[in-house]
Amino acid sequence: MYNKDNKKRAHAIALFSGGLDSALAVLLMLRQNIEVTALTFMTHFGCDLGDRSSCGSNPYPAAEKFGFNVKLMHLGQKFVDIVVNPKYGRGKNMNMCVDCRILMLREARDLMEMINADFVITGEVVGQRPMSQVRHRMNLVEKESNLRGKLLRPLSAKLLPPTEPELSGLVNRELLEGIQGRSRKRQLELAKEFGLEDYPSPASGCLLTDKGYSNRLRDLISHSQRLTFDDLNLLRAGRHFRLDEQTKIIVGRNEADNNAILAQKQEYHGMLEALDIGSPITLLIGNQTEENIYKAAAITARYSSAREMPNVCVTYFYNGTQKEYHVAPAADEEIQQYRIQ
């Protein structure tokens, strides 16, 4: 595609979360009449279109308003593999931000080469995030993604060495920004200037930055030969308890949890519920022994509306059969020894 003066119109691939910074990076390109194809990634760890975290906001409102294309890509097993075994370590919890960024940029590079685009952009800001947006990490990411010279960070470009699109004249460096640090003052000014109104507030990130979720994930990894998407989906619902090395239970906290657990239930899972009273749905995953069923029933009773009763009837469902267990609700001390915090 060419401009009116018959010069080639530059084409950028953008890593686009739908958040403020990535949106501004795209708008800085559009202001220079550069074509943008935005790439929005999804994972099993909270980065989806219904999640307004920093990695999962809906990309379409901004795309529709400002006129650029969005492509969705689910990273699937590739992402799971680096979660289990990150090359460049983790942050405070299970987040592996550097490996994540490298993977996304490699996918963006592949798309760039496939559609003959010119370079890749991100909304990164120097010094904004302590793990992935410090200079030596940003340089590492550029090298490992094989994008040397072709990775442009428009919001901090004036603080970084000129890239190939700047040196070749495809991008006017003077129209880029030199933002650094955690303040969003300049970003908010740019948003007002561009008329960008619908963007999420800053968030902590994907589920891998959450302490409770990370603890459940660590437990799952340490007790699984290979993670399945079914197991990962269940990590987002309920209270989790480890009964033995091969067995865990998931206990719903509310109706939404109960529905999510039922939706993910497999035929090899046991299920428990105290019928006819307010009760959680409990999944028994692993060894369906009498000892484990009794433990699961007692914990189910503890979180039911009959928790103050001396004896509660809990029904166990498995493989098309059902059986009633009369149990005393588990004591808090017992629950704590099994709970995955």
β-sheet bridge partners, residue 40: 72
**Contact indicator for 263, 274 with CB cutoff of 8 Å:** no
Q: Which residue has the tokens 């660590």?
A: 218
Q: Who's near 317: CB < 8 A, 6+ residues apart?
A: 270, 271, 272, 273
Give the span between the Cα atoms of 337 and 332, in whole angstroms: 9
Task: Please give the Cα distance from 196 to 68 (Å, whole number).
Answer: 14
- Residues in Cβ contact with 254 at an 8 Å cutoff, skipping those fewer than 6 apart: none
The conformation of residue 8, written as its DSSP 8-state character, comes to B
**What pLDDT was estimated at residue 6?**
55
CA distances from 326 to 148, 252, 313, 330, 334 (A): 66, 20, 5, 12, 18
What is the number of H-type helices and E-type strands within the chain? Answer: 12, 11
The two tokens of residue 3 are: 């401009």
Q: Where are the domains of the chain?
A: 11-194, 237-338
CA dihedral 24, 26, 29, 34 (to 10 degrees): -160
Q: When comparing pLDDT for 31 and 203, which is higher?
A: 31
List the one residue out of 334, 331, 323, 251 whose CA is nearest residue 285.
251
Average of pLDDT values for 73-79?
95
- What share of the chain in percent tops pLDDT 90? 81
pLDDT in tens, 292-332: 999 999 999 999 999 999 999 999 999 999 999 999 999 99
Going by pLDDT thresholds of 50, 70 and 90, the confidence category of residue 59 is confident
Instruction: Decide: 52 and 161 in contact? Cβ < 8 Å.
Output: no
Q: Are strands 239-244 and 11-15 parallel, antiparallel or unpaired?
A: unpaired
Q: Is the pLDDT of residue 3 over 80?
A: no
Residue 46: pLDDT band (50, 70, 90) is confident
Q: How far apart are CA 194 and CA 217, in angstroms?
A: 41
Distance between CA atoms of 139 and 117, rounded to whole angstroms? 22
Cα 208 from Cα 214, distance rounded (Å) = 6
Q: What is the pLDDT of residue 167?
A: 97
Domain 11-194: which topology? Answer: Rossmann fold (3.40.50)
* pLDDT score of 4 more than 70: no
pLDDT band of residue 50 (cuts 50, 70, 90) is low
d(CA 107, CA 145): 9
Each residue of 102-146: pLDDT tens digit? Answer: 999 999 999 999 999 999 999 999 988 766 678 889 999 999 999
Rounded distance between C-alpha atoms, residue 230 and residue 233, angstroms:
5
